[in-house]
Amino acid sequence: MSSEKQYISVPAKDGETIRKMLLTLELLDNNCKIISDDGILYFPVKSEITKNQLTTLSSTVPIDTGTRTFDVIPQGPRTLVDALEGRLSPEKLALLPRAYDLIGDIAILEIPDEIVSHSELIGEVFHSIHTNFKTVLAKKGAVSGTTRVRDYILLAGEDRTKSIHTEYGCRLAVDVAKAYFSPRLLEEHNRIAQLVESGEVVVDMFCGVGPFAIHITKQKEAKVIAIDINPSAIDLLCESIGLNKLVGTILPVVADAHDYVNTNELSVDRVIMNHPSGAADFVGDACSILKPGGTMHYYDFIGGETPEDTLKEKVVGLVEKEGRSVKKIGLVRRVRDSAPYEFQMVADIVIQE
């Protein structure tokens, strides 16, 4: 059987990058076979591609779009619910995870407490449907502590927590058991990189495995001082520096951001503060190193009816408490859901003097 579909096409050498991006954007139609034709790969897409998504894709590799006929893949069970029907009760089927995080070749599931006793079965069945993953893990508990790391349980496949993850063509060494990383922040990593201008000095106070630093220096001739208190995070960043062709430079630093800022003479153009549960305590440090006209990207967890207003009020108050004023509030946006009725938010704040 065949079907007429919209496609995204790329030169074969860019195939893996675009396949992963289409998966992350939930655009790839897995029901149809990808076509390879004269050095070009044609990826079938399952829904209308938005202008934003097109910009995102084409900023990474040269793409083409159009429609053509694709072979439809004969279907086995495609979802956990289909595959486990008859083996779990309808109530339990309704609790099965519908989505998962994808980090390189590792899939990470979140299994609700009510069905946690079936984790092994769920993992095995998931792995038999999604054979492209080498490892299937389940989250155990929430991220916690200074390093924002959580525990994981191996459900199926190879026993490991490390992989090489690709975002917008940036290769990132990630070990989910050792250092924080969220694949859901890729748009934000890229957004900030696009704002940076050549020649800027940027401090990423809580860099984790360094996605902002890698995105920025892959695109711009800027210098990023990438600080994290977790030595494993900085080891992974150092590995990523070797995996990418960078035009800028990164100075990886294992330190408490407060100590580093207060023991080094710094005057910088931009400070990234992506530590939503702790950034508020470091606004004084950011204010002390930002040049007049410099920008702070402040992240926080905010709930309530009007989180944008709450965040603006909070961050302006924090900056003014440090004796500096806000020249301009740029973009304020919800980056992702963090809990029911709560968002990880960002505010881009230009500091006056």
Asked if 270 is part of the footprint of ligand SAM (rule: CB under 6 A), the reply reads no
DSSP codes joined into one string, 228-293:
ES-HHHHHHHHHHHHHS--SSEEEEEES-HHHHHHHS---EEEEEE--TTTGGGGHHHHHHHEEEE
DSSP codes joined into one string, 97-162:
-S--EEETTEEEE---GGGGGGHHHHHHHHHHH-TT-SEEEEEEEEEETTTTEEEEEEEEESS--E
State which residue, 43 or 181, has the beta carbon closest to ligand SAM.
Answer: 181
Query: How many C-alpha atoms does 351 have within 13 Å on its Cβ side?
Result: 29
Among 31, 147, 161, 288, binds ligand SAM (CB under 6 A): 147
Least separation in angstroms between CB 279 and ligand SAM: 9
Among 167, 228, 269, 300, binds ligand SAM (CB under 6 A): 228
Asked if 190 is part of the footprint of ligand SAM (rule: CB under 6 A), the reply reads no
Asked if 206 is part of the footprint of ligand SAM (rule: CB under 6 A), the reply reads yes
Asked if 297 is part of the footprint of ligand SAM (rule: CB under 6 A), the reply reads no
Question: Nearest-5° angle of CA 78, CA 84, CA 86?
Answer: 130
State which residue, 217 or 274, has the beta carbon closest to ligand SAM.
Answer: 274
Among residues 346, 76, 9, the alpha carbon closest in space to that of 188 is found at: 346
Token pair of 175 as six digits? 């070990």
Asked if 211 is part of the footprint of ligand SAM (rule: CB under 6 A), the reply reads yes
Asked if 232 is part of the footprint of ligand SAM (rule: CB under 6 A), the reply reads no
Among 70, 168, 180, 343, binds ligand SAM (CB under 6 A): 180
Among 11, 278, 284, 330, binds ligand SAM (CB under 6 A): 278
Amino acid at the residue 21: M
Asked if 252 is part of the footprint of ligand SAM (rule: CB under 6 A), the reply reads no
Binding site for ligand SAM (CB under 6 A): 146-148, 179-181, 185, 206-208, 211-212, 227-230, 233, 256-258, 274-275, 278
